[in-house]
Structure 1
Amino acid sequence: MGIVVITGTSTGIGFATAATLARGGHTVFAGMRNPDRGDELRELASKERLSIRIVRLDVDNDDSVDEAFKNILKENGHIDVLVNNAGISGGGPVELVPIGIFRQIMETNFFGAIRCIKAVVPSMRERRSGCIVNITSVAGQFGMSPQGPYAASKWALEGLSECLAQELSAFNVRVAMVEPGVIATPMTTSPRPMPPPTNPYFPIIRRMVAYFTASLKTPSSPFEVAETIQGIVDGKSTKLRNPTGHDGAKLIQWRKSKTDEEWVKLGAASDSEWAADAQKNLGVDVNSP
């Protein structure tokens, strides 16, 4: 069993992954920007006698990342697994989203992962052992309006991960991506405000909200994602890309079933045409509100 560091563990996928890997016998260091939000995970660890330690870890901050990983390495001598889970959502038409939001999303979802990767790679490379799991998204495989800011950050992380996997393969360090679809977490279940009908992009925003609403009628648990991660960590999966959730693989296949031009044209389709195409390919009854 190994020493595992997971980022963004106060809720959702990070919480589920910390619990799942600790139940599997691993020693988990659960990173949180604000450890005061870790009461639920502390209670679980105490109740089940799990080896989970909550550590202050703000992936947006160089000093916070350096201090957290230096302390873990000093105490344990090595880190076997890094799970880069910390991330934030954010969408909207490219024209309307402020540049500051783009920067904020990229800072956490992309640069935050890089900070943590840089903290563990030297020791993993020297030991010729280790595993890095980057939680990307199906949005890292294809772009769907109005998810430009979020998709851009996940595309960037997927590109980095593929390069990193090649770089570290010679040193017996594995890199894998986990690509969730719509998972029932606070990120997806929080109310999604609708823009006024006068918004020029109102139809495409309405469709995305409709899809999330329909998908969450049969929600995938974050523990399903955690099981995918556990399979990678324990060596049951050796794939670079690992779609997960009930719609993860379906969404990616939907994109692959179309040419680039067909996919772009779908953005201009009528609501009924879009809903029919989504239902045909995803098996989800999407009726725009």
Structure 2
Amino acid sequence: MKSVIITGTSKGIGLDTALAFGRAGYRFFATMRKPENADEFRKKIKDEGLPITISALDVDSDESVGSCIGAIVRENGPVDVLINNAGIEHHGSIEETSMAGFKSVMETNYFGVLRCVKAVLPQMRQDCKGCIINVASVAGKIACTPLGPYSATKFALEAMSEALAQEVKPFNVRVAIVEPGIIDTQMANNIGYGGDSIYPQVNRFGGLFKASLQTPTSAALVADKMLEIAESGTWQLRHPVGPDAEPFLGWRASMNDQEWTDWNAASDEDWYNAVQNTFGFNAREVKQAI
């Protein structure tokens, strides 16, 4: 039975991924910062008889990552698949976001992934087998205010993953980047309006998310993609996921940098009209309803 470690399984994509792999028969190690809050998850594991073990792991901590992954390997043998899913969201304008805010989101979304990769890679390289799946985002390819702090971490994750894939392919270790679009998770629903920001984009962008989430895309879709990557043996690096992921990426690719900057710097009226014409989302109505 192949073994899988995933970070960030308390809710959303991580939780659905744990269940998908467990139901597929993988020996699955679901990690999270606070396992004491996982009573419903434990009940589901017990009721379905799933081969899932819940462990405490804080990706922000060298000691926690080393201790948790080290114990799993000692007690159960080498890890076949590592899924780096743990992440946090921080949005706001560049000027108004504190340095602490920038550092905290980078610590989890980028350095947290590096810690976990470094913990499993020596064994994977030695065994000449393994798969590392890093959950990035469409926001790792497209930078929109007010997601600058979050996008910076996902851009960094994309770059690191691309370099890593080149390094480990000769050792038969696969690297995949999963790029979800707007998925119905707590994180996506938290992207709302920024209150008294001096930058209008910080407020209006929440309308695009809220409008998109009126026809939600389940986190299970991302989970199914990661199971497919693990089982297929694919060497494809990037995997956009969700009905809006590839359209978003294509939309950005259709504009040069100046056009992209101008579109996002446009007046509220022009921006809302462009959103409706491009995506069919009436962000104004959504904003009024919140």
Q: Letter of the 1:241 partner, please give it.
A: R
Give the equivalent residue in structure 1 for 2:155.
155
The answer for unaligned runs of 5 or more in structure 2 is none
**Does 1:52 pair with 2:49?**
no
Distance 1:29 1:81 in 2: 10
- Residue 63 of structure 1 and its aligned partner are, at CA, apart by 0.6
Give the equivalent residue in structure 2 for 1:245.
242
- Residue 274 of structure 1 and its aligned partner are, at CA, apart by 2.0
**Does 1:62 pair with 2:62?**
yes
Q: Deviations over 1:48-85 (max 9, x none)?
A: 11000001110001111001111111112200000000
Aligned residues: 286
4+ runs deviating over 6 angstroms = none
Structure-2-length-normalised TM-score: 0.95
- Equivalent positions of 1:135-284 (< 5 A) are 135-190=135-190, 192-196=192-196, 199-201=197-199, 203-235=200-232, 237-284=234-281
- Mark the CA change 1:106 to 1:191 in structure 2 (over 3 Å): closer, same or farther: closer
Give the equivalent residue in structure 1 for 2:29.
29
- Mark the CA change 1:149 to 1:190 in structure 2 (over 3 Å): closer, same or farther: closer
> SS of the counterpart of 2:55?
strand
- Residue 283 of structure 1 and its aligned partner are, at CA, apart by 4.0
Distance 2:116 2:283 in 1: 39
Cα RMSD, aligned residues only: 1.4
- Mark the CA change 1:8 to 1:156 in structure 2 (over 3 Å): closer, same or farther: same
Distance 1:255 1:191 in 2: 20
Paired residues of 1:179 and 1:242 also in contact (CA < 8 A):
yes
> SS of the counterpart of 1:53?
strand
Identity, % of aligned pairs? 45
- Residue 40 of structure 1 and its aligned partner are, at CA, apart by 1.8
Distance 1:282 1:192 in 2: 18
Paired residues of 2:192 and 2:210 also in contact (CA < 8 A):
no
- Residue 137 of structure 1 and its aligned partner are, at CA, apart by 0.6
Q: Which deviates further from its counterpart, 175-184 or 232-241?
A: 232-241
Paired residues of 1:250 and 1:282 also in contact (CA < 8 A):
no
Give the equivalent residue in structure 2 for 1:126.
126
> SS of the counterpart of 1:278?
helix
Distance 1:169 1:63 in 2: 28
**Does 1:81 pair with 2:78?**
no
Give the equivalent residue in structure 2 for 1:20.
20
Q: Deviations over 1:103-156 (max 9, x none)?
A: 000000000000000000000001100000000011100110111110000000
Structure-1-length-normalised TM-score: 0.95
Distance 2:280 2:234 in 1: 27
- Residue 224 of structure 1 and its aligned partner are, at CA, apart by 0.7
- Residue 213 of structure 1 and its aligned partner are, at CA, apart by 0.6
- Residue 237 of structure 1 and its aligned partner are, at CA, apart by 4.5
